[in-house]
Structure 1
Amino acid sequence: MRADTHAFFLDVDGSLIDIAPHPDAVRVPQLLPQVLATLAGRAGGALALVSGRTIQSLDVLFHPFGFAAAGSHGAQMRLAPEDRIRSAPALDEALAREVKAAAGAFDGVFAEDKGTAIAVHYRAAPDARERLEDALRAIVGERVDVRLMPGHCVLEVKPASLDKGTAVADFMARAPFAGRIPVFIGDDVTDEAAFSAVAARGGLALAVGAPRPGAHGVLPDPGSVRAFLTHLAAAPRQRRR
């Protein structure tokens, strides 16, 4: 694999960094932001973070570097580091209130309002999953504009038409990603749409931790992902044919 012929799409929590009990408690290894910046340079800018986090949160995590990014599962897009963030409309206020009230009814559960989506985290209350999911599905009901997306100890109410697959497609239609071989690395059910998007474009999908539908291979853990990316960033440059 060569950085100058591929485009890199990277999930963050559970893929680049280890999952923590709370989204604000994650730790970014000291050298990781520089590794990503080096690889982005080697790839001519064709590297994007594709995350459930907001782009603003990603910028804080990987400071002082900024990257092309898709946040909130594709509801936010920044096609290049210097571009403005493009966001889907916020969830309507009534729906947001209902989701937050449902989360507040369970001990150890909290709602993270991303504006374009609301993530309901239950890592501290895993036994609440089934009842919590039932409550949120009842709120979403027959609506076609939003859907409930499961993840690692999280249930997210988000726009139905946007996901990590639509984000990858958006990037791949534009320079510097267009014409390259896409690579996506992710660990969760929320990444499977992106696996399908890169496969449809002749690319490579790598799952982290365990096999996932649509993935071509598995990296054992985030440490292995970081080692893989460090190797790519440091590989000798090859002359393009």
Structure 2
Amino acid sequence: MLGTATLEMPPPFALLRNAGPVSLFVDFDGTLIDIAPTPDAITVSPDLSGNLERLSRMLDGRLALVSGRSLDNLARYLGPDIALARAGTHGLERVGADGLQLGDRPAPIADAVRVEMEQFAASVAGLHYESKPYGAALHYRGAPDHGAACDAFVGALAARHGLKVKTGKCVVEAVPQKADKGAAVRAFMQEPVFRGSLPIFLGDDVTDEDGYRAAMEFGGFGIVVGRRRDTCAAYSLETPAEVHAWLNL
């Protein structure tokens, strides 16, 4: 159930760890790093990968990144050999900390989707097209007045190709039907390393609500980063900097 009241900060992370095994599922943009005008304009600390691996070891491997970015794109910023479980394209792509694929390999979306979306982005100044192996996105942070037009265009395009739409902060995406951050949490929680632990999902956007709900199914909870009016998260942190402080990254 979505709530609108001001949320409190979560209990100290050390206190939660001491109470029993904890699993962390963490979004990337807006949660671990600050959002930038375009996906490739982000600033990532060179220490982030090592700090995340250290945290994962402390949790006996029960840490997974769950991002809207593709796994290939995450590798550009975190390194291709990072020893961390992770899910990309809103949970559609999944690998364990050993880098081995979890579940079936998804099918790529049709080239026609990419072509139409790229052409639409090129027709309006300020729009940014992001191609993913298993999805395609329009970012309109540079043209906020065109948000409704982007939503309508991608919605119609997705309907024609049997895809579903994911919306977020100044972004709208066409992705396969199985792309769902909650599904990624459920899949990871079936793995021996995560099984039986308390799941905590940290995210900042609408797509992270699926992750919060999945965490709740296993007795855990969500933490929303930033101020969102409607959320089923139990707690909140204001900024990625607060996330780092809470996790002692």
Q: Same fold (TM over 0.5)?
A: yes
In structure 1, distance between residues paired with 2:207 and 2:183: 12
Alignment of 1:173-212 (within 5 A): 173-211=190-228, 212=230
- Give aligned-pair identity as a percent: 35
How many residue pairs are counted as aligned between the two chains? Answer: 230
In structure 1, distance between residues paired with 2:91 and 2:224: 19
DSSP 3-state at the match of 1:191:
helix
Amino acid corresponding to residue 172 of structure 1 in structure 2: M
In structure 1, distance between residues paired with 2:83 and 2:134: 21
Which structure exhibits the higher relative contact order, with contacts defined as CA atoms closer than 8 Å and separated by 6 or more residues?
2
> Match for residue 163 of structure 2?
146
In structure 2, distance between residues paired with 1:136 and 1:17: 27
1:170-198 CA distance string (max 9 Å, x none): 10011211111101000000101001000
> Match for residue 41 of structure 2?
25
* 60-69 or 15-24: bigger deviation: 60-69
Amino acid corresponding to residue 170 of structure 2 in structure 1: C
In structure 2, distance between residues paired with 1:37 and 1:95: 36
> Match for residue 138 of structure 2?
120
Q: CA deviation at 1:5?
A: 0.5
Amino acid corresponding to residue 93 of structure 1 in structure 2: D
Does the alignment pair 1:159 with 2:165? no
* Contact 2:204/2:225 (8 A) holds in 1: yes
Q: Aligned match of 2:98 in 70, 73, 81? A: 81
Amino acid corresponding to residue 218 of structure 1 in structure 2: S
In structure 2, distance between residues paired with 1:71 and 1:56: 8
1:53-106 CA distance string (max 9 Å, x none): 111222221236331100010121112333147641100122222222222222
Amino acid corresponding to residue 45 of structure 1 in structure 2: G
CA RMSD of aligned residues (A): 1.8
In structure 1, distance between residues paired with 2:155 and 2:124: 15
Q: Which runs of 5+ in 1 are unaligned?
A: 234-241
> Match for residue 74 of structure 2?
58
Q: Which runs of 5+ in 2 are unaligned?
A: 1-15
DSSP 3-state at the match of 1:120:
strand
After TM superposition, which residue ranges in structure 1, 4 or more long, deviate above 4 angstroms? Answer: none
* Contact 2:154/2:173 (8 A) holds in 1: no
